[in-house]
Amino acid sequence: MEKTPNDKLRKARERTQSRANSEYCLSRRELADQANAWIWEHHGKKYDLNANYIGKIEQGVIRWPNALTREAFRAVLNVRKDSELGFVNARAHYYGAVVKLSDVDDVKRRKLFETTKLGVGALVFGGPMAAVLEIRTSIPHRVGATDIEQIRRATQMFGSWSHTYGGGVAREAVMGELRWSAGLLEASCPERLLPDLYSAVGDLAKTAGYMALDADADEEARRLYGFALYCAEQAENWRLRANVLASMAEQAMFTGQPDDGITRAEEALVRADRLTASGQALLHTTRALALTKMRRVQDTLTALGTADEHFAHSTPVNDPFFYGAARHDYLTGYALADLAILGRNPGKATDRLTAAAAGHAAEHVRSRAICLAKLSSLTIATGDPLQAATIGHKALDITGSIRSRFAAEELRDLSRFATAHQQLEEVEHLRHRIATLLCTDNSEEEPSLGPSSSSP
C-alpha cells in the first residue's frame, strides 16, 4: 500500500510557534509533549506520544490516530476539524461514516447504524442460509456485561471451529453472529462498558475475517479486518489493534504483497511499549515472514533474532496475545524454512517445525497439518525424499476433516517440491494422495483445503 505523506499535519505544525524558541516552529517532539500534556490535563490519561510517532503520521504510515490523540492535536495546533490536519479514516467505507453515535439525534443515529449493519451484514448473506441467520433474538435496547460475555464466548467457539475444521465450515454462521453483535453498538451502553463492547465485537470481526481469508474470500476478509481495526481504535485496545494489523499483514503476504505486509507490521509496532513481550515477538515474526517473501535474508534473520529475544522475556500464561511456544516455533520455523529452501542450513527450521507440530493442541488440526506439510516440503527440498514422504503422509492423515485454503496451498507446495522425486514410489503415492484430497489432479481448480502464516 502506497503511503501518502500527511502534508497538512506537517504544515500545521510548522506554522505553530515553538514555545521554547519563538524563532522556530513547533518540533515533532514538542508537538508530542504538548499533546501528552493536554490529554493528561483534560482527560486524566497518561499518553506517551513521541517524535517518532509524529513522524509516522507525517510520513503517512498512520492516517487515523485514536480519538484523544486527534482531539489533542486539534487543540495544540488550533484547528477545528480532523480534516484540517489531514486525518482521514480510510476504513470508513467498511462500516459507514465515522462519527460518535451520541453526537447525532436518534433518527439520524438509527439511519447511520442501518448503513453500518448493511455494510457488515451484506458481506456474505445470500441464499437459504440468509433466511436462517435472520431468525435471531431482537437486539436489546441496553447492553450489559452479559451481552458482551456472550460475544466473547461466540468468538472462542468460532475460533475453535476454525482451528479444527478450517475457515470454510462455519463462515456464514460467524457472519450471522457478527451482524447481531455489531447491532449492539446501536444500543444504549454504559460508558464504562463501551471499550469492552468494542473490543468484543472487534475480536469477533477479526475471527470472521480470518475465516473468510481461509475460505478464499479476500475482499470480505479485508472489509472485516477494517471493521475490526475500527473497533480496536474506538476501544483504544492496543492488543486487538496489533493482532488485527498482524492479520492484515498476513493477508498482504498471502496475496503477493509482502511490502504491504511489512508496512502493516511496522504500523503495529509504532507503540510497541504498549504491547506485551509476546505481542512484540508476534509482530517481529510477522515482519520476518514478509521479509522472507522479498528474499531479504539478513533482514529476516535480524527480525527473527529480535522476535526470539522478545519471546524469551514473555510470560505466555494468561497473555492476551495467546502467543505460546508452539505458535512461535511454527511462525519462526516457517520463515527459517523459506530461507533454507533459498540455500541456508535447514537444521533450525526442521527443529522448530518439528517442535511446533508436536506442541500444538490436538484440536488445532489445521496448524498441525500445515506444520507437517511445511516440514515435508523442507525435507524433500533439502534432505531425504523418503523421510519427507513419511512426514507428508502424516500431514494428509489429519487434513481430511478440514476445509482450509491455507492447508490446501501448503499441500500444493509440497506436491510441487515432490515432482523432482516422483520416480520414487513413495513420493508418487504422496502426490497422488494430495491430488485426490484436493480434487484437482494437479490442475488449477478451486481448492477445497490451505497455509497460514500469522494466525495458524
Give the pLDDT of the chain (456 residues) as one tens digit per residue: 456 889 999 999 998 988 877 788 889 989 998 998 998 888 877 777 888 888 888 888 788 888 788 889 999 999 988 889 998 765 443 333 333 333 334 443 344 344 333 344 443 333 333 333 343 456 778 899 999 999 999 999 999 888 888 887 777 889 989 999 998 998 899 999 999 999 999 999 999 999 999 988 889 999 999 999 999 999 999 999 999 999 999 999 988 888 999 999 999 998 888 899 999 999 999 999 999 999 999 999 999 999 999 999 988 666 777 788 999 999 999 999 999 988 899 999 999 999 999 999 888 899 999 999 999 999 999 989 999 999 999 999 988 777 888 999 999 999 999 999 999 999 999 999 999 888 643 333 333 333 444 444
Polymer length in residues for the chain: 456
Q: What is the DSSP string of 136-152?
A: -PPPPSB--HHHHHHHH
Nearest to 281 by CA among 322, 248, 244: 322
C-alpha distances out from residue 182 to 140, 193, 218, 296, Å: 12, 15, 21, 41
Using CA atoms, how far apart are residues 414 and 374, in angstroms rounded to an integer?
A: 7
Asked whether residue 219 is domain-assigned, the answer is yes
Residue where one domain finishes, among candidates 72, 88, 104: 88
Asked whether residue 312 is domain-assigned, the answer is no
Asked whether residue 358 is domain-assigned, the answer is no
Geometric angle at alpha carbon 196, from 192 and 197, rounded to 5° = 100
Nearest to 438 by CA among 417, 407, 394, 416: 407
Asked whether residue 393 is domain-assigned, the answer is no
Nearest to 126 by CA among 217, 17, 22: 217
Q: In this structure, are 177 and 76 located in the same domain? A: no
C-alpha distances out from residue 291 to 258, 285, 321, Å: 7, 10, 22
Geometric angle at alpha carbon 66, from 60 and 71, rounded to 5° = 100
Which position has the grid cell 495546533? 77
Which position has the grid cell 451482524? 179
Q: In this structure, are 78 and 96 located in the same domain? A: no
Side-chain-side CA neighbours of 111 within 13 Å: the count stands at 5
Q: In this structure, are 130 and 170 located in the same domain? A: yes
Nearest to 434 by CA among 419, 452, 424, 454: 419
Nearest to 358 by CA among 333, 378, 380, 336: 333
Would you give the DSSP letter of residue 191?
A: G
Q: In this structure, are 26 and 79 located in the same domain? A: yes
Asked whether residue 158 is domain-assigned, the answer is yes
Joined together, the cell numbers standing for residue 63 give 492516517
First to last CA, the chain: 24
C-alpha distances out from residue 148 to 110, 186, 203, Å: 21, 14, 11
Q: In this structure, are 82 and 109 located in the same domain? A: no
Using CA atoms, how far apart are residues 66 and 9, in angstroms rounded to an integer?
A: 15
Q: In this structure, are 116 and 26 located in the same domain? A: no
Q: What are phi and psi of 336, to 5 degrees?
A: -65, -35
Joined together, the cell numbers standing for residue 426 give 513413495
pLDDT computed for residue 89 by the predictor:
64
For the entire predicted model, the pTM comes to 0.69
Q: What is the tally of structural domains in the chain?
A: 2
Joined together, the cell numbers standing for residue 350 give 526442521
In contact, 247 and 206? CB cutoff 8 Å: yes
Q: What is the DSSP string of 295-321?
A: T-HHHHHHHHHHHHHHHHT---TT-TT
Q: In this structure, are 42 and 120 located in the same domain? A: no
Asked whether residue 129 is domain-assigned, the answer is yes
Residue where one domain finishes, among candidates 234, 267, 282: 234
Joined together, the cell numbers standing for residue 189 give 451502553
Asked whether residue 447 is domain-assigned, the answer is no
In contact, 30 and 20? CB cutoff 8 Å: yes
Provide the residue range defining the domain that includes 84. 7-88
Q: In this structure, are 84 and 147 located in the same domain? A: no
Q: In this structure, are 80 and 144 located in the same domain? A: no
Asked whether residue 119 is domain-assigned, the answer is yes
Q: In this structure, are 73 and 116 located in the same domain? A: no
Residue where one domain finishes, among candidates 212, 234, 256: 234
Using CA atoms, how far apart are residues 235 and 240, in angstroms rounded to an integer?
A: 9
Residue 239 CB partners (closer than 8 Å, separation 6+): 275, 276, 279, 320, 321
Using CA atoms, how far apart are residues 285 and 88, in angstroms rounded to an integer?
A: 29
Using CA atoms, how far apart are residues 307 and 19, in angstroms rounded to an integer?
A: 40
Q: In this structure, are 219 and 112 located in the same domain? A: yes
Nearest to 56 by CA among 74, 38, 31, 34: 31
Would you give the DSSP letter of residue 445?
A: P
Secondary structure (3-state) at 448: coil
pLDDT computed for residue 3 by the predictor:
65
Q: In this structure, are 133 and 49 located in the same domain? A: no
Using CA atoms, how far apart are residues 188 and 133, in angstroms rounded to an integer?
A: 24
